A = this chain, B = another copy of it.
Amino acid sequence: MKLASLKSGRDGRLVVVSHDLTRYCAADNIAPTLQAALDDWENCAPRLEALYTDVEHQAVPCERFHEREAASPLPRAYQWADGSAYINHVELVRKARGAEVPESFYSDPLMYQGGSDAFLAPREPIPLADENWGCDFEGEICVITDDVPQGVSSADAAGHIKLVMICNDVSLRKLIPGELAKGFGFLQSKPPTAFSPVAVTPDELGEAWADARLHLPLHIDYNGEPFGRTHAGEDATFSLADLVAHAAKTRPLGAGTIIGSGTVSNKDEDGSPGRPVADGGRGYSCIAEIRMIETIRDGEAKTRFMRKGDTVKIEVPGEDGKSVFGSIEQEVA
């Protein structure tokens, strides 16, 4: 099934959305908010699934679904932790500054605890107080869990993944080196994230969800031009289940925890870091990567970070070419 939260108050109003994202039916008689549904998922999920079947069969009255009316599926959450499943991204960052990738990064994922008190809606402008902060987008796959016990195995973690989304993990690149040097992780360098209009259950994804990885392309357009045409199912060193298990190593995770894949990033067919879309490559899911390629290739980065008025669109086309999660479309304001 597909779920969304229409903008309403701090936590939105839960609705069930049709597979083709054209219709919705209010679900707030089952649970007022998605968080409330996740808090009692075992009870709510079957009822939401039944409603979804009715929506698909047009057996209940539906309203027209407009992605622009959706908040992030969880407009705020109790936890958002973001990993680095695509080591190509990490390799690129390090290569650009002449550093090696420690061997441990291939078995022990990088993950940071993100701010989750207020997310941007999928069509909400990115507020940027200072263009010198180096505003960047990051296209990622993420999942929402139910209650996950401490010490869960990766195999068992897969069963705790209840919903899948995509996100734009907005980053302030120029603030990152200072914060990384302090060792305490990202705080000021990670302003609010935006998630896709719709969250989708793994079963709804069919064969595109396998090994707790999303086997679909991630399309990113920057200022209206194709910028990223990566494939989320390839080059993912860690699955989303691996990342959930990493987060739960020393503590349980509360229902509604969001875990992210990190920036989706593919190697080129010849094993080299990917080429830009304009050069026939798959491109990138963030500006930082093309800047790294430029730095490695030309000695300096020429693509600048986002300024006011720049736009980014992030979307996953299904095998039928139709948008699976709806699109994140944001302008820097």
Give chain A interface residues in 242-273, CB to chain B under 8 Å.
Answer: 246-247, 249-254, 256-257
A150 is contacted by which of B10, B129, B178, B257 (Cβ under 8 Å)?
A: B129
The reply to whether A186 and B188 contact each other, CB–CB distance below 8 Å, is: no
The reply to whether A81 and B187 contact each other, CB–CB distance below 8 Å, is: yes
Shortest Cβ distance from A10 into chain B, in angstroms?
Answer: 6
Known: A184-B185, A185-B185. A117 touches B253 (CB 8 A): yes
The answer to whether the Cβ of A209 comes within 8 Å of any Cβ in the partner chain is no
Shortest Cβ distance from A138 into chain B, in angstroms?
Answer: 14
The answer to whether the Cβ of A175 comes within 8 Å of any Cβ in the partner chain is yes
The reply to whether B257 and A117 contact each other, CB–CB distance below 8 Å, is: yes
The reply to whether A185 and B188 contact each other, CB–CB distance below 8 Å, is: no
A186 is contacted by which of B76, B127, B185, B249 (Cβ under 8 Å)?
A: B185
Give chain A interface residues in 120-162, CB to chain B under 8 Å.
Answer: 127, 129, 133, 150-151
Chain A interface mostly: loop
The reply to whether A250 and B39 contact each other, CB–CB distance below 8 Å, is: no
The residues of B that contact A43 with a CB separation of less than 8 Å are none
Give chain A interface residues in 188-218, CB to chain B under 8 Å.
Answer: 188-189, 191-192
A112 is contacted by which of B108, B180, B184, B253 (Cβ under 8 Å)?
A: B184
User: Number of A interface residues, CB 8 Å?
Assistant: 47
The answer to whether the Cβ of A110 comes within 8 Å of any Cβ in the partner chain is yes
Give the docked Cα–Cα distance between A233 and B322 (Å). 59
Shortest Cβ distance from A95 into chain B, in angstroms?
Answer: 16
> A residues near B, CB below 8 A?
10, 39, 76-79, 81, 108, 110-118, 127, 129, 133, 150-151, 172, 175, 178, 180-189, 191-192, 246-247, 249-254, 256-257
Shortest Cβ distance from A89 into chain B, in angstroms?
Answer: 13
Shortest Cβ distance from A259 into chain B, in angstroms?
Answer: 11
**A114, A127, A175, A249: which has the most chain B beta carbons within 10 Å?**
A249
A-B contact pairs, 5 of them (CB 8 A): A10-B39, A110-B182, A112-B113, A175-B250, A180-B184
The reply to whether A250 and B191 contact each other, CB–CB distance below 8 Å, is: yes
**A113, A117, A129, A254: which has the most chain B beta carbons within 10 Å?**
A117
The residues of B that contact A81 with a CB separation of less than 8 Å are 115, 187
Shortest Cβ distance from A145 into chain B, in angstroms?
Answer: 10
The residues of B that contact A188 with a CB separation of less than 8 Å are 246, 249-251
Give the docked Cα–Cα distance between A178 and B102 (Å). 12
